[in-house]
């Protein structure tokens, strides 16, 4: 009984700040204070509930006590067919995309999260993947700490993690609304997305509505830093990579972001964000890259919703990149500036309980580069993707998706993918 009572309190605390300001003048007046305190209250109560359910003493500030850890295993399995005999070559460029005719298993994730002590929480994601030869690949996708009690509404994140650029880059594949990565994110951040070792500081800005300012600072090197200090030839667009060492602050990768949330009505929420990624790249000794993005997310949920249904949501991200490509005499490539831009826009309709229909449109393009004829990450690309997802429970889903692709390099291709997901264990809640 005590545990149920505390869980009810947790639900009230978490949902209270999202009630429309127009429904109560007092909520409008106190919204700023509630948003600023939400993170602190939620994390403290989560820790309290976990300690009680485990039958252990509660961790309190300044005292030794017990911690908790959630462990989960989530797997996405893909099956399907494409008119392209080798989809992974240049059609499905995302590392977690379905990559071949028949069956693919590109994401089997062990997730760990828990309270370290009264001052921080820890997270880790270990991912297994099978390649086209059925050989197992292993990677430490994320491992980071998150503070819970810094003053001034500040929060520090440190370790290896996805940068909070836009909405989807920081999301794991099992939370995607579609079976594959948007084309414009492939274009800007490569197959893996933008993640690296570094730190991020965030601040809840004291505004009448929710506003958060974030700044990530990363080493910005290796295969997970496509467009920056990536030593792979693909990331340098045909140039022989120059392995640039870290000499000072100017050689780091900086990822700022500003985002805000508004309750338009009792049933509608709007989120807006702008992001940047600025740092050196390995195509030359002094070459640099700048990426800018803007994102919008809108959601309507019925006033009579049952388990969150019915609902309609719309999400769009637009990105622009300025890539200074260095001269490479060995490959007879002069210096040039590569400019790329594109967007994706998707709409989801939860038309009845546990059923969601989706439609996404993708577009990516750029100016002409001297290496474009051999560069799978450039040239014009479009994709139209309708899908249908059924959630038998909160621990599983089955998704059917059709892709119609057009590219300057390969013409027209069509693909059909069936995806199944299952989750074992307790998985931390994902950010809205």
383-412 pLDDT, tens digit each = 999 999 999 999 999 999 999 999 999 999
Q: Which of 103-107, 117-121, 401-405 has the lowest mean pLDDT?
A: 117-121
Give pLDDT tens digits for 33-58.
Answer: 454 455 545 554 554 454 444 443 33
Q: How many CB atoms lie within 10 A of CB 17?
A: 18
User: Within the chain, how many helices (H) and strands (E) appear?
Assistant: 4, 16
Q: Tell me the pLDDT band of 244, cut-offs 50, 70 and 90.
A: confident
Confidence of residue 193 (pLDDT cuts 50, 70, 90): very high
pLDDT digits (tens, 9 = 90+) for 133-165: 999 999 999 999 999 999 999 999 999 999 999
pTM for the model stands at 0.85
Three-class SS state of 408:
coil
Packed helices 25-53 and 2-15: angle between N→C axes, nearest 10 degrees:
140
Q: Identify which of 360, 370, 369, 383 has the alpha carbon closest to the alpha carbon of residue 340.
A: 369
**Predicted local distance difference test score (pLDDT) of residue 235:** 83
Pair of tokens at residue 222: 């290796």
User: What DSSP designation does 167 have?
Assistant: T
What confidence score (pLDDT) does residue 55 get? Answer: 40
Q: Is the peptide bond before 310 cis (omega within 30 degrees of 0)?
A: yes
Q: What is the mean pLDDT of the chain?
A: 87
What does the radius of gyration of the chain's CA atoms come to, in whole angstroms? 22
d(CA 174, CA 396): 10
195-209, 234-248, 284-298 — which is least confidently predicted?
A: 234-248
Rounded mean pLDDT, 291-303: 97
Asked whether 280 and 228 are in contact (CB, 8 A), the reply is yes
Residue, of 79 and 43, whose pLDDT is higher: 79
Which segments within 37-135 are labelled E, that is strand? Answer: 68-82, 102-117, 120-130
DSSP string covering 174-235 = GG-SSSS--HHHHHHHTTT-SEEEEEEEEEE--SSSEEEEEEEEE--BSTT-TTSB--STGG
Q: How far apart are CA 73 and CA 234, in angstroms?
A: 32
What does the pLDDT read at residue 43?
52
Q: How many CB atoms lie within 10 A of CB 90?
A: 18
> Residue 61: pLDDT above 50?
no
Distance CA 297, CA 57 (A): 41
Mean pLDDT of the 231-260 span: 91
Question: What's the confidence (pLDDT) of residue 243?
Answer: 84
Contact 399, 179 (CB under 8 A): yes
Tell which residue, 309, 307, 405, 413, has the closest CA to residue 357. Answer: 309
| Band of residue 6 on the pLDDT scale cut at 50, 70, 90 | very low
Residue 60: is its pLDDT beyond 80? Answer: no
Cα–Cα distance for residue pair 67/54, rounded to 1 Å = 10
Report yes or no: 427 and 96 within 8 Å, Cβ to Cβ.
no
Per-position b or e across 160-176, b if 16+ CB within 10 A of its CB: bbbbbbbbbbbebbbeb
How far is residue 72's CA from residue 23's CA, in Å, rounded to a whole number? Answer: 39
Cα separation, 7 vs 49, in Å, equals 7
Give the pLDDT mean for 80-109: 96
């Amino acid at each position: 009984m005590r545990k149920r009572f505390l869980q009810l309190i947790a639900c009230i605390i978490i949902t209270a700040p999202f009630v429309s300001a127009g429904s109560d003048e007092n909520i409008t007046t106190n919204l700023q204070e509630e948003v600023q305190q939400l993170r602190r209250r939620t994390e403290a109560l989560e820790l309290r509930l976990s300690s009680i359910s485990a039958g252990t003493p509660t961790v309190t500030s300044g005292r030794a006590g017990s911690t908790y850890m959630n462990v989960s295993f989530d797997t996405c399995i893909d099956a399907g067919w494409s008119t392209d005999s080798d989809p992974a070559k240049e059609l499905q460029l995302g590392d977690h995309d379905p990559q071949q005719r028949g069956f693919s298993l590109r994401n089997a994730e062990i997730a760990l999260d828990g309270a370290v002590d009264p001052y921080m929480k820890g997270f880790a994601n270990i991912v297994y993947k099978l390649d086209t030869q059925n050989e197992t690949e292993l990677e430490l996708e994320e491992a980071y700490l998150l503070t819970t009690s810094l003053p001034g509404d500040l929060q520090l994140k440190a370790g290896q993690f996805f940068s909070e650029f836009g909405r989807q880059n920081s999301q794991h594949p099992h939370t995607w609304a579609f079976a594959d990565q948007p084309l414009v994110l492939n274009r800007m951040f490569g197959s893996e997305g933008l993640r690296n070792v570094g730190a991020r500081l965030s601040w809840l800005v004291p505004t009448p509505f929710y506003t958060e300012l974030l700044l990530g600072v990363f080493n910005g090197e290796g295969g997970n830093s496509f467009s920056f200090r990536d030593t792979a030839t693909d990331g340098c667009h045909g140039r022989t990579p120059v392995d640039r060492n870290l000499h000072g602050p100017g050689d780091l990768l900086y990822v700022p972001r500003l985002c805000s949330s508004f309750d338009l009505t009792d049933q509608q929420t709007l989120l807006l964000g702008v992001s940047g990624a600025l740092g050196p790249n390995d195509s030359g000794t002094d070459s640099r890259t700048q990426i800018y993005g803007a994102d919008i997310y809108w959601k309507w949920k019925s006033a009579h919703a049952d388990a969150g249904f019915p609902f309609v949501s719309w999400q769009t991200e637009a990105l622009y990149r300025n890539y200074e490509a260095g001269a490479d005499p060995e490959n007879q490539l002069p210096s040039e500036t590569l400019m790329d831009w594109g967007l994706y826009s998707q709409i989801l309709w939860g038309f009845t309980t546990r059923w969601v229909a989706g439609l996404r449109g993708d577009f990516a393009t750029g100016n002409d580069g001297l290496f474009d004829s051999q560069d799978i990450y450039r040239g014009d690309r479009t994709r139209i993707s309708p899908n249908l997802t059924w959630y038998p429970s909160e621990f599983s889903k089955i998704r059917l998706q059709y892709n119609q692709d057009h590219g300057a390099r390969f013409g027209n291709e069509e693909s059909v993918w069936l995806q199944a997901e299952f989750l074992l264990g307790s998985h931390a809640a994902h950010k809205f």
